[in-house]
Amino acid sequence: MKQLPNIEKQRFEQLLTKAIDGELEAAEQVDFDAFISRYPECRQEWQEHQKVKEATKMLKFKQPSGEVWDNYWINIYNRIERGVAWIAISAGAIILLTYALYHLIEVLFGFMSNPTVPFFIKLAVILVVGGVAILFISVIREKLFLQKKDIYKEVKR
């Protein structure tokens, strides 16, 4: 019984892939047949692949019922709709919170209406206030989502 050399094994695997797909050219078919006749391990691997190919040809996908498809599209629509709603709620809350914090700073410090304060400082304050608002809304939204999905909420700490 001959053992298949490593370099030959790589060549056989290339030919095997083409043979499975039915894409062997005439010269390659001769080489492949030589492998099959000369090496029992190649013949066995070829037979196993043929069995797998035959078995997969007989497989059919089960078609889901109309009700399954209806529920699928309803769920997709609901997820998109709720995602858009959360974006709108978050954006509105961020704008309102930024506006409220901006006016709080203005009332407490009179900072923003002072003409001697450079523009880039005013812009930096607005960005900081906006960032705080975004972070605050983000944390609240995350806590709301985690509260529903927390698998350890029943565990006493």
Tell me the average pLDDT of the chain: 85
* 127 and 74, same domain (yes or no): yes
* 142 and 76, same domain (yes or no): yes
Q: What is the pLDDT of residues 47-98, one digit of tens each?
A: 999 888 888 888 888 887 888 777 887 888 888 888 899 899 999 999 999 9
Of 46, 50, 43, 53, nearest to 2 by C-alpha is: 43
d(CA 155, CA 157): 6
Round the CA-based radius of gyration of the chain to a whole number and report it: 34
Q: Does some domain include residue 154?
A: no
d(CA 80, CA 83): 5
Buried b (16+ CB within 10 A) or exposed e, 107-127: eeeeeeeeeeeeeeeeeebee
* 80 and 101, same domain (yes or no): yes
pLDDT in the model for residue 107: 85
Q: To the nearest whole percent, how much of the chain has pLDDT over 90?
A: 22
Q: What is the pLDDT of residues 22-43, one digit of tens each?
A: 888 999 999 999 988 888 888 8
Q: Does some domain include residue 155?
A: no
pLDDT in the model for residue 1: 43
Domain count, the chain: 2
pLDDT in the model for residue 157: 63
d(CA 64, CA 46): 35
Task: Please give the residue range of the domain that contains residue 110.
Answer: 66-149
Q: Does some domain include residue 122?
A: yes
Q: Does some domain include residue 1?
A: no
pLDDT in the model for residue 96: 93
